[in-house]
Structure 1
Amino acid sequence: MTDARNSRGTTKERFADLAESYLGVEGVTCPGTEPGARGFGRGGLKVGGKLFAMVSQDRLVVKLPAERVDQLVAGGDGDHFDPRKNGVAMREWFIVDPSSDLDWHALAEEARAYVGALR
């Protein structure tokens, strides 16, 4: 079932909607609110200063437990994130397939909870 928050749009539009839903959430830093941010994940969502969701390769990328990433990959909803495209995937990072019907808000919330618990 798809709700209005999960409606199709460009990746940039969908991520902007996702980021907007985190504005004002305690402990969460939204893209563009961190002066001088550079490097990996600079345009991403962070909790406690740690990245939990971002856009890369024009796709949503979230940090989840390795077992959960394996489960999502096995379900055909995306793949392990390989930022350098050199065959070295990051075990705890999942890149969502553009054709997936996964709810980005639910995935981001799952990622926020996971990363927030790692502190």
Structure 2
Amino acid sequence: MADPGTPSRDTPSHAAAEARLHVVAGAFADRPGVVLPASGGRHFGTATLRVHGRIAAFTPGDHLVVKLPAARVAALVASGEGLPFPDGRPPMREWVAVVSDDPGVWSDVLDEALMYVGG
């Protein structure tokens, strides 16, 4: 039986989220140190966006999950724009699942995550 805190990767919604990550991440291809999901390895069974070898974003289920400063994560969760990650377990303070599936929103939070993780 699957762990209830582990998102399913065998669903159309996960496939759509991963495809969206590939498309939106392409806008960041020219940033130094960025490795696009199509070019890099997989982590947690899904594509990842990395900068300088560190994961900035991935799609473990049907949401984009990004690494941001803890205060920004708390603000996104408080506003309802984000969900604690992972679901069903103690949340990781610098990781948040983005509620929206709008590519513009994803682009904005990916930009933030790349700046934060890439320093």
> TM bucket by the smaller chain?
0.7 to 0.9
Structure 1: which 5+ runs fail to align? 1-9
Q: Which stretch shows the higher mean deviation, 13-22 or 46-55? A: 13-22
**Which residue does 2:92 correspond to in 1?**
90
Q: Which has the higher helix share?
A: 2
State the 1:58 CA deviation. 1.2
Give the whole-Å Cα distance in 2 for the aligned partners of 1:73 and 1:57: 18
1:39-91 Cα distance to aligned partner (Å, 9 max, x none): 33751110100000111211111000111100010001121111xx4422111
Percent identity at matched positions? 38
| Pairwise CA RMSD | 2.3
Contact kept, 8 Å, 1:78 with 1:100, in 2: the verdict is: no
Assess, with a 3 A threshold, how the Cα gap between structure 1 residues 100 and 38 changes in structure 2: closer, same or farther.
Answer: closer
Q: For this pair of structures, how many residues does the alignment match?
A: 104
Secondary structure at the aligned position of 1:56 is classed as: coil
Q: Which TM-score applies when normalising by structure 2? A: 0.75
Structure 2: which 5+ runs fail to align? 1-15
Select which of 53, 73, 79 maps to 1:75: 79
Contact kept, 8 Å, 1:63 with 1:92, in 2: the verdict is: yes
Counterpart of 1:96 in structure 2: which amino acid? V
